Amino acid sequence: MGDETRRHDVTLEWPDADRERRTIRIGEDETVLEAAERADIALPFGCRTGACGTCTGRLLSSNGNGDADEGTPDVADAFAYRRPPRALKERHRDTGYVLLCIAAPRTDCRVAVGSSVHAELVENPWK
């Protein structure tokens, strides 16, 4: 018997690190955060339950669609959540943001990650 879990290539990109990229193969039963930890890739996270938003990524493309000229790719087509993403408002989900601690891929995709992505959603009160 082989492993029957479907797997997808997810490319993580750090916009504030000169476009550093890493691609990891992730099963549909695994979250992006879990797969990143397995691959020894450090992603920011806080709660692992979708409540804090520290792990927020921004979907750049999904299954070859969604780069700049094609509009925002649909997060619901690219990921399944283990539980409701409480830390994201509907307008954030509609514009491509995804909580990587509770999201498992359903297609190959590219995701912007890192603290600068979280900062796009939350204004720093200490500036």
- For the entire predicted model, the pTM comes to 0.88
- Chunked into runs of 10 residues, the chain (127 residues) has average pLDDT values of 80 87 96 97 94 94 69 88 94 94 97 90 68
Query: What is the pLDDT at residue 49?
Result: 95
Domains identified in the chain and CATH numbers: 7-123 (3.10.20.30)
Query: What is the pLDDT at residue 64?
Result: 65
| Phi and psi angles of residue 15, each rounded to the nearest 5 degrees, phi first | -60, -30
